[in-house]
Amino acid sequence: MAEANDLVQAFDNKIHAEEKIEPKDWMPAGYRKNLIRQMSQHAHSEVIGMQPEGNWLTRAPTLERKSVLLAKIQDEAGHGLYLYSATETLGITREEIVQALHDGHAKYASIFNYPSLTWADIGTIGWIVDGAAIVNQVALQRTSYGPYARAMVRICKEESFHQRQGYESVAVLARGSAQQKAMAQDALNRWWWPALMMFGPHDADSAHSAQSMLWKIKRKSNDELRQSFVDQTVPQAEIIGLEIPDPDLKWNEQRQHYDFGEIDWDEFKQVINGNGLCNRERLAQHKQAHANGAWVRAAVAAYVKGKTGESGE
């Protein structure tokens, strides 16, 4: 009993001293479970996020845009891989992590349940969705679990590149023809509120927040992060002449922040609970690709077994 207490004490001391928890360190079961949930959700988001962007890959308007988009999606796949590996350090296999997604136990960012309908959505996803993700991820660079924090440092570098590319792409549309500008505005109208929802419920309503803050898995609250995102994005929209679709949005001199309207939490719940336009398709596509690849993975396993069998004899 004394020993167990020592372990808890050592863990708490590390958290308090801002030292990273490493895979071989003792950690409370709840801490491990919470991390597996958050990190695997993060990894799945990178992977499922490839779908709405891939939707425009074969229709990109120029060869340069096509190359940039392919490279970006490849980065997302790389982030997914990196985060799956980081999650595996917690004692769960990639097969189990993917199975949990297929079973519906693990989630991915609900924003990818919205459809990418025009080319402007691709730039907007980079600007707004990656922009929101970065705000979250910059804070996570100081998360208490070492492999997660280090993954975030690397991922943030690439994500901020994506965010700038996306913004530049939207800027070109915004100063283009009337149709292009309308396309850009329409995309912002559709993605703005879902992007604000990416930060999750208000702090008071957030199921995992309090404990995650104590364990320093989360470093800033949902509402704090959301405010940072709004503050940084509103001037960006103004520069390129697009309008944030929120009549309540205005600068608050006293707070030195933007005030903004209330999120439609009913829509948030609807989409999380399966009633977004793409929920079933996103998961079905992932399952289908996985199923289609089963014979390939079986071939690799048989080949490796055959080879090691040979050399073993």
Tokens of residue 241, six digits: 């002449």
Interaction of residue 54 with other proteins, rule CB under 8 A:
yes
Which x/- pattern, by CB under 8 A, does the window 73-92 give for other proteins? Answer: xx--xx-xx--x--------
Cβ–Cβ < 8 Å for 41, 108: yes
Q: Which long-range contacts (CB under 8 A, 24 or more apart) does 260-269 make?
A: 260/196, 260/230, 263/193, 263/196, 263/197, 264/193, 265/201, 267/193, 267/197, 268/110, 268/197, 268/201
- Interface residue with other proteins among 208, 250, 269, 297 (CB under 8 A) is 297
Cβ–Cβ < 8 Å for 44, 107: yes
- Interface residue with other proteins among 36, 39, 50, 90 (CB under 8 A) is 50
Q: How far apart are CA 125 and CA 255, in angstroms?
A: 29
Interaction of residue 311 with other proteins, rule CB under 8 A:
no
Interaction of residue 34 with other proteins, rule CB under 8 A:
no
Least distance between other proteins and beta carbon 48 (Å): 8
* Region 104-123 residues binding other proteins, contact defined as CB under 8 A: 119
Q: Compare residues 70 and 249 and give the one whose CB is closer to other proteins.
A: 70
Cβ–Cβ < 8 Å for 184, 171: no
Cα angle 36, 41, 47 (rounded to 5 degrees) comes to 130
- Interface residue with other proteins among 47, 97, 100, 225 (CB under 8 A) is 47
Which residues bind to other proteins, rule: CB under 8 A? 47, 50-51, 54, 57-67, 70-71, 73-74, 77-78, 80-81, 84, 119, 172-173, 176-177, 179-180, 285-286, 289, 292-303, 306
